[in-house]
Amino acid sequence: MSSRRVLVVSDVSGWMAGGVPAETRHLLAGLVARGHAVGYAGDVPLGGAEVAHFAIDVPTHSGLPTQLQAALDRFRPDVVHVMAMGSRGLARIAPILEGLPWLCTCHSVPPHERKIGIFHAHERLHYAARALRFAANALAWRWLFAGGSIPHVVVHSAFVHDVVIRYGAAPERVTTVPLGADPPQAAPAPARAAASGPILLTVAGVAHTKGQHDAIAALPAIAERCPDVRYVMVGEVRDASYAAFLDRLAERLGVAPRVQRLQGLTQSELASTLREADLYLQPSHEEGFCLAFIEAAAVVPRLVGSATGAIASIAADDPDMRVVPARAPALLAGAALELLGRAPDADAMRRRAQRLQDRFSWSRYLDAHETLYARVGTAASRRR
């Protein structure tokens, strides 16, 4: 594959932990390692000294086209990859990208993965209110997709692929590229007293769509069989009203002493927390892929996730992973108890490493993007 000049653009702050910035770092570093000249337009530099940085304000505003045009003039890319951008930002930059080879990664589409701070105790009412709140945003995305403003769309799961097509994108202009995974490794035995109970862990921003309330609702049933069980939630608070709801729910169910919320962990602290976990839970209601789940699979032998994003694909054929429907605390508890009731095989992590490497790897992720860059370049040449 010949080298290219690739400009990556994002309206997600590089200060955010995990998520889009984590994926962006993998993309930038991988492209540099493969000999491409790489630029990044975002609020803070990502990817090290080898990646040229072009500042754009986040949140974006009416000056975004001017800032992006300056980056285009200075870097002169062969292809532009919009890694993340809201519908308003895309509408603003689409005219200046017209005629250039470019593509856009779509991690989710409104109202999915958007948050509102009301009706946390009433699931259907919460999501109905959210749909109403983000109806205009959803219409804007339908207009962008149906109008063909975006030459090519990258998604990371079949769920988002189906949503994008339903919103009007031409199927031939949508490509599913799974995220990568670091090779799983055997987790050392937790460094705690043998008599202590199991530790359940979730890594996710504290927001309703991440479903931590379902895990808390499952705790009483788990505690009946595992009296000393503890549940640790790691993640930044993205919705203070939801965090308060979690605290009230834990109190009402009598499990508050078992629940702990942590945020602001360093990478080494997070790694240590993962190693100490007996079971990893991902009770999300919606995910574009769920990088946290596949990263946890590299360390924690036993995992339970909900059937959203790519979680089912990640867990497929793994005897120590279970997938349950989203919004089903009773099934979440049942799956957790099943896995806690037996120890994984000694060779389990080695076999998982092979399975995940066959299906998900950053190398495959980079291969797919290089192919797409060539494809959009050819398509742009034909349009000229």
Same domain, 354 and 373: no
**Rg (alpha carbons) of the chain, rounded to whole number:** 22
- The whole-angstrom separation of Cα 148 and Cα 344 is 49
Q: How high is the pLDDT of residue 183?
A: 65
DSSP per-residue codes, 99-159: TS-EEEE-S--TTTT---SS-TT-HHHHHHHHHHHTHHHHHHHHHHHHTT-SS-EEESSHH
Tens digit of each residue's pLDDT (9 = 90 or more) over 220-263: 999 999 999 999 999 999 999 999 999 999 999 999 999 999 99
Provide the number of structural domains found in the chain: 2
- Asked if the structure places residue 43 within a domain, the reply is yes
Helix (H) or strand (E) holding 54: strand 52-55
Q: Within 13 A of 48's CA, how many CA atoms are on the CB side?
A: 11
Q: How high is the pLDDT of residue 267?
A: 87
Structure-token pair, residue 280: 């990893």
Same domain, 355 and 370: no
CA distances (Å), origin 301, targets 35, 221, 258, 274: 36, 22, 22, 10
Of 226, 250, 224, the C-alpha closest to 339 is 226
Same domain, 345 and 368: no
CA distances (Å), origin 180, targets 24, 38, 160, 268, 294: 12, 20, 17, 21, 8
CB 287 within 8 A of CB 205: no
Q: Cis before residue 184, ω within 30 degrees of 0? A: no
This prediction has a pTM of: 0.89
Whose tokens are 């990263």? That residue is: 295
Same domain, 221 and 345: yes
Regions of the chain where pLDDT drops below 70: 1, 183-195, 380-384
Q: How high is the pLDDT of residue 38?
A: 98
- Asked if the structure places residue 332 within a domain, the reply is yes
Residue-number span of the structural domain to which 22 is assigned: 5-179+361-379
Q: How high is the pLDDT of residue 47?
A: 84
- The whole-angstrom separation of Cα 10 and Cα 347 is 41
CB 382 within 8 A of CB 50: no
- Asked if the structure places residue 185 within a domain, the reply is no
- Asked if the structure places residue 51 within a domain, the reply is yes
Helix (H) or strand (E) holding 123: helix 123-133
Same domain, 175 and 247: no
Whose tokens are 């962990």? That residue is: 265
Same domain, 219 and 234: yes
Same domain, 223 and 352: yes
Same domain, 113 and 149: yes
CB 28 within 8 A of CB 8: yes
